[in-house]
Structure 1
Amino acid sequence: MAGLHLRVLGPHAPGPAPRLHAFPLRAAGCARLGVCLLRRSSVPSRLSGVAPAVAAFHTAFGVHRNDAPTADVPAEVAALRIRLLAEEVGEYAEAVADGDLVGIADALADIVYVAYGAAVTYGIDLDAVLAEVHRSNMTKADEDGRVIRRKDGKVLKSARYTPPDVAAVLRAQTEVPW
């Protein structure tokens, strides 16, 4: 299978066997990147087991949650979610400044956990949204597979970039993963 890139999609834990997808490198837009751009239909919507775990925390501790996407969250709950995220980002910044690898790892895990908690609060399947954002981010390379960077290293959008369609992901959400 010369010229093909195999990508394993699907669960990485016990369960159904992963799906294998093979895409010709040029046809998939891989060019010089060495990785394939995933088609929207082949991006898994369940990237992790974090959402169900965080939802279980919300249930066990009586934390606000929704089972369908909604922006209708009490103002005090929305304000708490913002404060929690800001607190964890502050802890991350402190750990980076201190060169504390354990603190960095802990803060990053807390940021992800709190972000998933916010998603549970709003009834958002964050794994599905992340998959769509990832699909979009992979379109930032130009038609030759070149990456355009800002001076600080941020990857910039090329003319090939297609924005994430988060609204479509939310409309398509038929059930939450918890």
Structure 2
Amino acid sequence: MREFHEVFELAHPGRPTPLIAELAEARQRILDEEVREVAAAALGGDLVEIAHELADVVYATYGTAISYGIDLDAVIAEIHKANMTKLGADGRPIERDGKVQKSELYRPPNVAGVIDRQSKTTPDA
């Protein structure tokens, strides 16, 4: 997906970088549009269309992360590690209203640490 940003000359800094307001707003509009398309596809129930629109959301999300210079895979790995600590002491999930809940063992993700490490790395040439 970085290739798309390079080829189309879109923002793709080599380390985490705030966006100017205009670009941040544009990226948010793209994300909002893609999420609305998932909702519409879900109402239609066509699995092919749902899959397509979900992929578009992921593509737009990764594109937004690339615009900010964020390695989203590293952030997702940190979130996943934290989410896995939601299991209860008995090793079983705690679920309420279709959502997994945090247990007393939950440890929040250290996203700030991930971004800090990315900020200190040398950008790709």
Q: TM-score, normalised by structure 2?
A: 0.93
For structure 1, list consecutive stretches of 5 or more residues without a partner in the other structure.
1-53
**Aligned twin of 1:65:** 12
Aligned pair partner of 1:97 in 40, 43, 53: 43
Q: Which runs of 4+ in 1 moved over 3 A?
A: 175-178
Equivalent residues in 2 for 1:5-154 (5 A)?
Answer: 54-71=1-18, 73-151=19-97, 153-154=98-99
Higher helix share: 2
Q: Would you say how many aligned residue pairs link Structure 1 and Structure 2?
A: 123
**Structure possessing the higher radius of gyration over alpha carbons:** 1
Alpha-carbon displacement from aligned partner over 1:140-167 (angstroms, at most 9, x marks no partner): 001111211112x100000000000001
Query: By how many angstroms is 1:102 displaced?
Result: 1.1
Q: Aligned partners of 1:92 and 1:175: how far apart in 2? A: 37
Sort the Cα spacing of 1:176 and 1:154 in 2 relative to 1 into closer, same or farther, 3 A: farther
Structure having greater relative contact order (Cα 8 Å, sep ≥ 6): 2
**Alignment gaps of 5+ in structure 2:** none
- For residues 109 and 137 of structure 1, what CA distance do their matches in structure 2 show? 22
Rounded to whole Å, the distance in 1 between the matches of 2:124 and 2:56 is 20
2:103 to 138, 147, 158: 158
Identity %: 52
Per-residue Cα deviation, 1:17-38 (whole angstroms, up to 9, x for no partner):
xxxxxxxxxxxxxxxxxxxxxx
TM-score where L is the length of structure 1: 0.66
Alpha-carbon RMSD: 1.5
